[in-house]
Amino acid sequence: MKNYIFGLLIFSALVGCRKPVNVKMSGPVFGTSYSIQYYSKDMLHFQNSIDSLFYVVNKSMSTYQTNSDISKLNRNESNLVDDHFIKVFNASNVIYNQTEGAFDPTIGNLVNAWDFGPEGNVRNLDSLKIDSLMLSVGLNKVSVEGNKIIKENANAFIDFNAIAKGYGVDVISDFLESQEIENYIVEIGGEIRTKGINKEKDKPWKVGVEMPHFDGTQSIISAISLKDEAMATSGTYRKFKVDDAGNRYSHIIDTKTGYPSKTNLLSISVIASNCMMADGYATAFKTMGIEKVTSFLEQHKELKVFLIFENEKNELETIGLNGFPEF
């Protein structure tokens, strides 16, 4: 009996001192890719659960899936939505109001019209067509009643693609925390959330800030440390159009005009407590411009921001605001 008890004590001690296992997984999701890394004392692998969560978020908000809740809502076939949709809608409303409409998910019809969305290009696009499409824009014209979305204008097309990736990162991060995972990094299409540290290196997680390249190549300016924070980056250098005069227009549509925003801002990285808000604000800041963003951040110290832009000499410059980590 004593030997049995002694054996149990040794086993318990070994379990208690077991080195956390480094679990990694990656794959395609949301039209991009994901990468997850976490440390588990019990060697837990959550692939099936994570795949299920990806499916649920896609079923709720993917404009690229014809049977998703958001696609049915946009076709006016159903206005029933799930809790995921409502969470993202409410967060979008906060950003919409705080940025005075610079972030507006109802701009979807214009995104499609300029051939940046899932519906393809609208032919014969001119100022009259744009003015007509703008009549359905305005998140203040959409409301929630229980689990139903009410649209004042039936033509309103809601598109959460500018915030849904960040929300997906949060969904997976919250799940890992519910499983008592204390050290992780979750990344979807460049949007990132971290908790704890990289146990192998015994240091905070390192994430890269990308250098803007218009030719599709990728490189990193430098890496910063993130701990218990999220970061989202929005850039104008991958999807853009060039007019006959050589002016470059981003894929972000100006919610006030309906036209692609012409901006010298090339990349905006936002650090926040969660990835959904970081993602939404990063999108909004692209249309606001440097001066408005700088002024906005004076009242929002909870957001750390890094801007990369072209100056008048077409040279790259950077600005770090609200204590964005130095390289």
Distance CA(96)–CA(163), nearest Å, equals 12
Q: What is the mean pLDDT of residues 106-114?
A: 84
Let me know how many helices (H) and strands (E) the chain has, helices first. Answer: 8, 15
Distance CA(250)–CA(259), nearest Å, equals 10
Distance CA(91)–CA(170), nearest Å, equals 13
pLDDT digits (tens, 9 = 90+) for 11-41: 333 444 567 899 999 999 999 999 999 999 8
2 — pLDDT class (breaks 50, 70, 90): very low
242 bridge partner residues: 248
Distance CA(184)–CA(199), nearest Å, equals 9
Nearest Cα neighbor of 142 from 84, 95, 69, 90 is 90
Beginning with the edge strand found earlier in the chain, give each strand of the sheet holding 304-310 in spatial order: 21-29, 32-40, 184-188, 191-195, 230-235, 265-272, 304-310, 316-321
- At residue 298, the pLDDT reads 97
Tell me the backbone φ, ψ of residue 214, rounded to 5 degrees: -85, -10
Q: What is the mean pLDDT of residues 134-157?
A: 95
- Mean pLDDT of all residues in the chain? 86
- At residue 88, the pLDDT reads 98
pLDDT digits (tens, 9 = 90+) for 67-90: 999 999 999 999 999 999 999 999
Q: What is the mean pLDDT of residues 196-202?
A: 95
Nearest Cα neighbor of 185 from 203, 211, 163 is 203
- At residue 236, the pLDDT reads 66
What is the CB neighbour count within 10 angstroms for residue 10? Answer: 10
In order of their start, the domains of the chain are 68-151 (1.10.3980.10)
Percent of the chain clearing pLDDT 90 (strictly above): 64
Q: What is the DSSP letter of 141?
A: G
Distance CA(96)–CA(144), nearest Å, equals 15
* Cβ atoms 116, 47 nearer than 8 A: no
Distance CA(277)–CA(262), nearest Å, equals 24
* Cβ atoms 288, 295 nearer than 8 A: no
Task: Tell me whether residue 203 is exposed, middle or buried, using C-beta atoms within 10 angstroms of its C-beta: 0 to 12, 13 to 18, 19 or more.
Answer: exposed
Q: What is the mean pLDDT of residues 288-302?
A: 95
Q: What is the DSSP letter of 166?
A: H
Nearest Cα neighbor of 131 from 105, 158, 110 is 110
Strand (E) or helix (H) holding 316: strand 316-321
Distance CA(133)–CA(127), nearest Å, equals 10
- The yes-or-no verdict on residue 180 having pLDDT over 90 is yes
User: Maximum CA pair distance of the chain?
Assistant: 88
Nearest Cα neighbor of 327 from 225, 231, 227 is 225
pLDDT digits (tens, 9 = 90+) for 204-258: 999 998 776 555 566 677 899 999 999 999 876 555 555 555 555 556 788 888 8
Distance CA(153)–CA(70), nearest Å, equals 15
- At residue 18, the pLDDT reads 62
